[in-house]
Amino acid sequence: MKIVGVAACTVGIAHTYIAQEKLESAGKKAGHEISIETQGTIGIENELSSEQIEEADIIILATDVKVSGKERFEGKRTIQVSTEVAMKSPNKLIKKAEEVVTQQS
């Protein structure tokens, strides 16, 4: 499964990067291809390409603030959670993504 997403916390520093790291680690551990863009105080990093978004089976938005460029994900299966959920339960979140994709296939 291909997963892409965005991590962005209110301050745009620690939680953004921890959420990204936890999600990417959990996704790879589950055998998925995963890329998480970060949006923080220094701007957008690891920006997702339109090709990555197009090929994605699901989008995970682990955000506490408004996401820049959210319209890029219109029409795609999306799960939206707080950065806290992504940091504390990344494996459960990846499982949930698998369930959503399986149910809608």
Active site residues: 9
Contact between 31 and 86 (Cβ < 8 Å): no
pLDDT tens column, 44-84: 999 999 999 999 999 999 999 999 999 999 999 999 999 99
Q: Does 105 have pLDDT greater than 70?
A: no
Q: How far apart are CA 30 and CA 47, in angstroms?
A: 23
Q: List the CATH number of the domain containing 78.
A: 3.40.50.2300
The domain in which residue 78 lies consists of 2-104
pLDDT tens column, 16-43: 999 999 999 999 999 999 999 999 888 9
Q: Could you tell me the pTM of the whole model?
A: 0.96
Number of domains into which the chain is organized: 1
Where are the extended beta strands (E) located within 1-105?
2-8, 33-40, 43-45, 58-63, 78-81
